[in-house]
């Protein structure tokens, strides 16, 4: 758990490749999240940070989280690489997911995402 906290702090500081600062790349990622809201998932909250994203969704019946995330990552990676005139891996291979345990945990996750929005602008 401590390792994950340290990784999150590192990411949230905006270290590493910050391709998502590019307005065109940011737009592609945002539009991708919005595109299938209410069709494949309910998009509850999200924030696009300079080097990663936080997204809270509820998958719709018949749509799994791995399939949704894979779809986002493959489409946005291809588009972002075109915009940036680069090749290669854009996202890390895996992702961090959490099972929401109860209403308090749900509210804490929303607050965490919203607070990241404030940190992004610093």
Average pLDDT, stretch 5-26? 73
pTM of the model: 0.84
What does the pLDDT look like over 43-101, one tens digit per residue? 999 999 999 999 999 999 999 999 999 999 999 999 999 999 999 999 998 898 989 99
Is residue 99 a contact partner of residue 113, using CB atoms and an 8 Å limit? Answer: no
Tell me whether residue 116 is exposed, middle or buried, using C-beta atoms within 10 angstroms of its C-beta: 0 to 12, 13 to 18, 19 or more.
Answer: buried
8-12, 28-32, 36-40, 83-87: segment of lowest average pLDDT:
8-12
- Taking the CA atoms of residue 43, residue 48, residue 52 and residue 54 in that order, the dihedral angle to the nearest 10 degrees is -30
Classify residue 43: in a domain, yes or no. yes
Average pLDDT, stretch 30-51? 97
Based on the structure, what is the number of domains in the chain? 1
pLDDT at 9: 53
Q: What is the mean pLDDT of the chain?
A: 88
Classify residue 66: in a domain, yes or no. yes
Classify residue 25: in a domain, yes or no. yes
CA-angle at 96, arms to 92 and 18, nearest 5°: 45
Classify residue 60: in a domain, yes or no. yes
User: Domain residues for 81?
Assistant: 17-120
Please state, in angstroms and rounded to a whole number, the distance separating the CA atoms of residues 55 and 71: 14
pLDDT at 120: 55
Classify residue 12: in a domain, yes or no. no
Residue 60 DSSP one-character state: P
- Domain holding 48: CATH number? 3.30.70.1290
Classify residue 44: in a domain, yes or no. yes
């Amino acid at each position: 758990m401590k390792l994950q906290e340290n990784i999150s702090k590192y990411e949230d500081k905006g270290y590493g490749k910050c391709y998502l600062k590019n307005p065109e790349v940011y737009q592609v990622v945002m539009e991708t999240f919005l595109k299938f809201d209410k069709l494949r998932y309910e998009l509850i909250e999200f924030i696009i940070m300079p080097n990663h994203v936080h997204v809270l969704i509820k998958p719709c019946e018949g749509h799994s989280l791995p399939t949704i995330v894979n779809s986002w990552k493959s489409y946005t990676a291809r588009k972002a690489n075109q915009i940036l005139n680069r090749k290669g891996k854009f996202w890390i291979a895996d992702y961090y997911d959490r099972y929401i345990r109860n209403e308090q945990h749900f509210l804490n996750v929303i607050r965490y995402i919203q607070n990241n929005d404030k940190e992004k602008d610093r």
